[in-house]
Structures are given as structure tokens and as C-alpha cells.
């Protein structure tokens, strides 16, 4: 049970502004284009759109990621978490375990992530007397609407981009963390809390540097059904985006992703190490 630890992370509200920045300009007559003509009154709550749903699902998502990672590493090395400081696993084993966790996490995460992105990019104001109602009234209504309008496959829009993003990225994520911890910790000792915080933060930044291009593509494919913008697939979305907006489009949101990644992943890894030590 100790290996299936849920690591909670904060600062989720930053994602709303980052997701909108990653999306292409809306077409005239599209759903997002029609929303803009309504000129909703800006409020600080806009930065927290779609936040309640990730908070509710983050325990499941991170439990899958860290649980699969720990158990895959145990299967590859046959050493417990405490023994790994005396017999450190190879970086190859860490990478494989991280990729395994990333792959399975992406499979579980895809519908949750789609609903989160749709809610974050919904620009109608909350329902007011005499005003237009929001397209989605909440996560459950969003999921039901997508299922009804786009079919079961609609809930997995962008899933391939998400899988391609998370599988190698989370391998790099765990390798970066392990390498930084080993560099700052004498052999056979547990890393200090400061080391874990710094290593976790920089591992998060490293992973987003590699993940952002596919994160942009994932967000665009997830919004395609709402924008009435059809992509023939992952490659078509990449080519169309680069042709219309240049190669720089693949790094939109990198700055805000990196700024969010350091504190979130620092706390995530500190929680992970503490709970494994407590329950190990």
C-alpha cells in the first residue's frame, strides 16, 4: 500500500491562462469565436476555471503514476524503496519505470484532462438572469455533452498526444530527480528535505521543457470538436499549427509551465518521499 501514494499538487489555477495561450485564434463563426462576441466581464475567477475537477482527480492520477513507477522499479530491481539508497537502481531502470507510469497515467488521465481543458477554455460567464447560459454547467454536464455530441471517442480527443507527451517525459522526470538527488547526497544516505525540494522542482521544469510541444498539440486536438476545427490526426495538427503560426507555437506556455512546475513538483516529491518513509 505504501507504494500507491497520492501526491497532491497546488497552483492548478495557472493552467487556465496557459491553455488559452496555447490555442490558435478562433475561427469566425466557431463556438469560441461566438463566445468572444459576448464580451464577458473579466474576473479573477477566470484564472481558476476547471480547477475543481483536477483537484478531485489529482489523487487518482498521481496515485497511478507514483504507484506504477514504484512497483515497476521494484519488479526491475527487486529492491525496496529503503534499499535503493544502498543499491541505487540504474538510470535505465528508472527511465523504464517512469515511462511505464507515464503511459498508464495518460490512459487514465485522458478523459479527465479533456474535460478540464474544455472547462478552462469556456469563456461564457456564469448563468445570469436574461443572459446566455454557459455551454457546460460543470464536469458531469461537460462529459455528457461531449459523449452526446462527439461520441465515446470524443472523450479521448488528444489521447495519443497525451500518451506521447507523458510516456517519455515522465521517464525523463524521474531520471532527472534521481540524478539530482544522487549528486547532492552522500552514498547510502537519504536525501535531505531541501535536496528533495530542489531536485523535484528542477525535475518538473526539465519534464515540461520536453513536454510542452506535445502539450500544445494535445490542447488543440482536445478543443477541435468545440471549435469546429477538424484535424486529420496528430501529424496534421502539428503541420497545420507550424504552417500557420511558425515553429515557435510549439513552445507556447513553456514559461508559465516552468514557473508552475517548480513549486508543484517540489512539494509532490517531498510528499512522496515522506509518505513512503512513514508507511514503508
Give me the helices (H) in the chain, please: 14-22, 31-36, 52-77, 91-120, 139-150, 159-184, 193-227, 234-245, 254-279
Do residues 154 and 117 touch, judged by C-beta distance below 8 A? Answer: no
Query: How far is residue 236 from each of residues 70, 73, 80, 119, 157, measured CA to CA in Å?
Result: 36, 36, 45, 25, 14
Query: How far is residue 217 from each of residues 16, 139, 150, measured CA to CA in Å?
Result: 16, 22, 19
Per-residue pLDDT reduced to its tens digit, 25-65: 555 554 444 444 444 455 565 555 556 666 667 777 888 89
Instruction: Inform me whether the pLDDT recorded for 227 exceeds 60.
Output: no
Q: What's the chain's average pLDDT?
A: 78
Can you tell me the distance from the alpha carbon of 95 to that of 89, in angstroms, rounded to the nearest whole number?
10
Q: Which range, of 9-23, 107-121, 143-157, 212-226, averages the lowest pLDDT?
A: 9-23
Nearest in space to 227 (alpha carbons), one of 140, 138, 157: 157
For residue 140, the SS3 value is: helix
Using the 8-state DSSP alphabet, how is residue 86 labeled?
A: T
**Which of the two residues, 274 and 99, has the higher pLDDT score?**
99
- Quote the Cα angle for 189-101-206, to 5°: 65
Q: Where are the domains of the chain?
A: 51-123+135-188, 192-279
Instruction: Inform me whether the pLDDT recorded for 12 exceeds 70.
Output: no
Per-residue pLDDT reduced to its tens digit, 192-226: 999 999 999 999 999 999 988 888 888 888 777 65
Cell numbers 475561427 correspond to 27
Do residues 35 and 99 touch, judged by C-beta distance below 8 A? Answer: no
Instruction: Inform me whether the pLDDT recorded for 280 exceeds 50.
Output: yes
Q: Which range, of 11-20, 51-60, 78-87, 91-100, averages the lowest pLDDT?
A: 11-20
Can you tell me the distance from the alpha carbon of 162 to that of 237, in angstroms, rounded to the nearest whole number?
14
**Core vs surface per residue 63-79: b (16+ CB within 10 A) or e:** bbbbbbbbebbbebbeb
Do residues 220 and 242 touch, judged by C-beta distance below 8 A? Answer: no
Going by C-beta distance under 8 Å and a sequence separation of 6 or more, which residues neighbour residue 176?
199, 202, 203, 206, 207
Nearest in space to 87 (alpha carbons), one of 188, 202, 228: 188
Query: How far is residue 178 from each of residues 84, 171, 181, 187, 198, measured CA to CA in Å?
Result: 11, 11, 5, 13, 12
Amino acid at each position: 500500500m505504501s507504494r500507491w501514494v497520492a501526491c497532491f499538487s497546488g497552483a492548478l489555477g495557472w493552467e487556465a491562462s496557459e491553455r488559452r495561450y496555447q490555442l490558435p485564434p478562433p475561427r469566425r463563426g466557431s463556438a469560441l469565436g461566438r463566445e468572444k462576441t459576448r464580451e464577458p466581464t473579466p474576473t479573477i475567477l477566470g484564472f481558476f476555471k476547471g480547477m475543481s475537477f483536477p483537484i478531485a482527480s489529482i489523487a487518482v492520477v498521481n496515485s497511478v503514476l507514483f504507484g506504477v513507477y514504484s512497483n515497476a522499479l521494484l519488479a526491475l530491481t527487486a529492491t525496496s524503496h529503503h534499499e535503493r539508497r544502498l543499491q541505487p537502481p540504474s538510470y535505465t531502470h528508472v527511465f523504464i519505470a517512469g515511462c511505464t507510469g507515464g503511459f498508464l497515467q495518460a490512459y487514465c488521465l485522458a478523459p479527465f484532462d479533456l474535460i478540464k481543458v474544455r472547462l478552462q477554455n469556456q469563456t461564457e460567464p456564469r448563468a445570469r438572469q436574461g443572459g446566455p447560459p454557459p455551454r457546460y454547467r460543470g464536469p458531469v454536464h461537460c462529459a455528457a455533452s461531449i459523449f452526446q455530441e462527439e461520441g465515446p471517442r470524443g472523450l479521448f480527443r488528444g489521447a495519443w498526444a497525451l500518451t506521447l507527451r507523458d510516456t517519455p517525459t515522465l521517464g525523463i522526470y524521474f531520471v532527472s530527480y534521481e540524478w539530482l538527488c544522487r549528486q547532492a547526497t552522500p552514498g547510502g544516505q537519504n536525501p535531505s528535505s531541501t535536496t528533495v525540494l530542489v531536485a523535484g522542482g528542477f525535475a518538473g521544469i526539465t519534464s515540461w521543457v520536453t513536454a510542452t510541444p506535445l502539450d500544445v498539440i494535445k490542447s488543440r486536438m482536445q478543443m477541435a470538436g468545440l471549435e469546429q476545427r477538424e484535424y486529420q490526426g496528430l501529424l496534421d495538427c502539428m503541420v497545420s499549427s507550424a504552417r500557420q503560426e511558425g515553429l515557435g507555437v510549439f513552445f507556447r506556455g513553456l514559461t508559465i509551465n516552468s514557473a508552475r512546475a517548480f513549486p508543484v513538483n517540489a512539494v509532490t516529491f517531498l510528499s512522496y518521499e515522506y509518505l513512503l518513509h512513514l508507511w514503508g
